[in-house]
Amino acid sequence: MITPHRRPRIAVHKFSSCDGCQLAFLNLGEPLLALAESVDILHFAEAGPVDESADVDIAFIEGSVATSADAARLRGIRERSRHVVTIGACATAGGLQALRNLADSEAWIEGIYARPEDIDLMADSTPIAKTIRVDLELWGCPVNGEQVLGVTQALLAGHLPHVDHAAVCTECKRRQTVCVMVARGTPCLGPVTSTGCGAICPQLQRGCYACYGPAVQANVAALSSYLVDTGMPADEIARRLLFINNQAPPFLDAGREWQARVIQRSGGEETS
């Protein structure tokens, strides 16, 4: 039970992940130190404090659910937390490790581990919201530390913040970044991807890799047709869609369609 009239409490929990989202939070540096002056950070293994069973006001969760032990731990966290916020593609959409959901994961396990019988995995790698109720989802690979900080401040002030899911293209326009797809013919998933990163890749003359998940009203079919017109092969389109956020429904559905076309064209043989 959370008692009133005390400093707010925060925890940052890790599930199946690479720790990159915790690092993004940690790399905030001085703003994080300033936050630590007004809250108690009770669990954040990457930063030092470890008390996983603490009652908290905000529990940030990095990583996806991969084992039944993960699911049980997660339910306990939900019971002890006023707000649960997922941070990053792994926690919000299953992450890169959910690529095994699309493959013969048992064959992968047998190919990788010396003692596959010791590996106790659930059938799929799933986002946190498939196991517990989540109050807010922050996308990204990694998540944007500034966005995590802003959400923390808003929740501590008593309101659930709005997270912008307009397309990355809107961010390019705001920053007056020249469009890499129009000007250089570089494939870019920005038209169907949610902003949040600040359009970092287009600013560096690279196409967007869809780290921040689907934008609102993402028209994946229209973008895919455009990519075909630029000469991108079907298997490459499928790979781009089934990447960091491969379990996000607009990317999963379109990516599977493109995979099916590849299989059909190869006479029914899966090409990888």
Radius of gyration of the chain (CA): 20
Least distance in angstroms from the C-beta of 160 to ligand SF4? 22
Nearer residue to ligand SF4 within complex by CB, 202 or 214: 202
Least distance in angstroms from the C-beta of 261 to ligand SF4? 23
Backbone angles phi, psi at 243, to 5 degrees: -125, -120
Nearer residue to ligand SF4 within complex by CB, 75 or 173: 173
Least distance in angstroms from the C-beta of 45 to ligand SF4? 13
Q: Is 198 left (phi over 0), alpha (psi -120 to 50) or beta?
A: left
Specify burial of residue 206 (Cβ count, 10 A radius: 0-12, 13-18, 19+). middle
Residues making contact with ligand SF4 (CB under 6 A) = 17-18, 20-21, 62, 88-90, 95-96, 141-142, 168-169, 172, 179-181, 188, 190-191, 199, 202, 208
User: Nearest residue by C-beta to ligand SF4?
Assistant: 190
Nearer residue to ligand SF4 within complex by CB, 12 or 262: 12
Nearer residue to ligand SF4 within complex by CB, 195 or 259: 195
Least distance in angstroms from the C-beta of 195 to ligand SF4? 9
Least distance in angstroms from the C-beta of 168 to ligand SF4? 4
Nearer residue to ligand SF4 within complex by CB, 81 or 193: 193
